[in-house]
Amino acid sequence: MEEADDFGKPKRIVFLTVGTTCFDALVRVVDSKEVKEELYKKGYTHLLIQMGRGTFIPTKSSGEDGSLAVDYFTFSSSIADCMKSASLVISHAGSGSIFETLRMGKPLIVVVNEELMDNHQSELAEELADRKHLLCARPQTLHQTILDMNLESLLPYPPADARPAVKLINQFLGFPDD
Amino acid sequence: MIWNTTILLIAVVVSLAVRVLYIIYCRFKFIRGKTQQSLSTLIILGSGGHTAEMLNLLTVLQKGRYTPRCYVAAATDNMSLQKARVFETSLVDKSEIEVGETAEFMQIYRSREVGQSYLTSVGTTVIATAHAVWLITKIRPQVILCNGPGTCIPLCAIAFLYKIVGIRWSSIFYIESIARVQRLSLSGLLLYKLHMADQFFVQWPQLQRKYPRAHYVGCLM
């Protein structure tokens, strides 16, 4: 169910989210000419940036001149709606954003913030990338990642299952198996 | 005189050590044969993903066995208790629990805020620990569920102390966060190394290989 713009071209939205963090390096690189051109070449029509506590302001664009339409906001109570209507999500490496996107079955590029101290976030992004559930990049390598990306090769993320943990807890406490 | 005091001190330390080892290695003796209808449960919440993971676990847990439930979050964490309230209300709506069976929601002082100086952290940790003593004594949980936030350390430490002293047995279950793939969090490391958790769960196989006493339970998110 895709929306079409005035020219009947289906709307394909790239949604960028940094959660509650400040990740200027990522917003800057996504707002750069080369990345926007690359996304447009890949068939995306709109770029929506959720910039969180960032200080770098992207440039809005209506996209009338045959380029990506760009819009941005800081925070929203319904990030989920933005994700739902996106064809591609680019996200910081927060586990909340990652799993929210994966559960919706949206293609995802996770960008790790190298300025964070003790970057354990990258462990999760890299592990999920190894398992082919998402693509992982750094701000400097994002352009190349988008150039090379083959979203068809991504595997769906299996549904979460808390039953093994619950079974062990019940067993330890002596409750009978269900 | 000094000789007598020394012998007494040695005896106390040795007895304590034996008691701690007994608690750690003979946990099963305290559990088996004591299965009651339901166990009072303390659920420790943390900001961000921690609470989401915990609620995923609680959704599958048989509520009738783990009741009454008490949720504790850090004093500066507003979202977690709210999410827990929404969860408990949804249980009533789905008739999974009896009407009138209420959960409790409490807050605990944080040992240390992000970025707080380590010097002042000593003071706030003492306050948090004192608060933990009060909470554990008041709640008297038989089961403690936690998954990583620093808030769980004072509470688990006091509960463990109560086990050693013989006041109250709380079974402590620790589930390391899904975001921990290669290394344990500080809370996880403490609870694992000091044998404070009765059962220690990890969500990635790499961690189970590094920490063999942990159980690999797959992804909760």
Q: Which amino acid is at A117?
A: M
Would you call A159 an interface residue with chain B, using a CB distance cutoff of 8 Å? no
Interatomic CA distance for residues B161 and A66, integer angstroms: 68
More confident residue, A156 or B149: A156
Task: Nearest by CB to A168, from B33, B199, B220: name it.
Answer: B199
Task: Write out the H or E segment, with its range, that includes residue B61.
Answer: none
Task: Tell me which chain A residue has its CA closest to the CA of residue B198.
Answer: A172
Query: Residues of A with CB below 8 A from B60's CB?
Result: 162-163, 166
Would you call B175 an interface residue with chain A, using a CB distance cutoff of 8 Å? yes
pLDDT of residue A4: 56
Query: Residues of B with CB below 8 A from A125's CB?
Result: none
Interatomic CA distance for residues A93 and A125, integer angstroms: 6
Would you call A155 an interface residue with chain B, using a CB distance cutoff of 8 Å? no
pLDDT tens per residue, range A62-114: 988 889 999 999 998 888 999 999 999 999 998 889 999 999 999 999 999 98
Global ipTM: 0.90
Are B50 and B194 spatial neighbours (Cβ–Cβ below 8 Å)? no
Are B80 and B55 spatial neighbours (Cβ–Cβ below 8 Å)? no
Interatomic CA distance for residues A32 and A38, integer angstroms: 10
Q: CA quadruple B174, B180, B185, B191: dihedral positive or negative?
A: positive
Place of tokens 């299996």: A158
Q: Which amino acid is at A34?
A: E
Q: Write out residues in chain A with pLDDT < 70, as ranges.
A: 1-8, 117-118, 178
pLDDT of residue B1: 75
Paired sense of beta strands B171-175 and A46-50, if any: unpaired
User: How close does chain A come to B58, measured CA to CA in Å?
Assistant: 9
> Given a cut of 70, is residue B33 above it in pLDDT?
no
Interatomic CA distance for residues B189 and A132, integer angstroms: 29
Task: Tell me which chain B residue has its CA closest to the CA of residue A163.
Answer: B60
Name the pTM for this structure: 0.87
Query: How many interface pairs between A and B have CB atoms less than 8 angstroms apart?
Result: 87
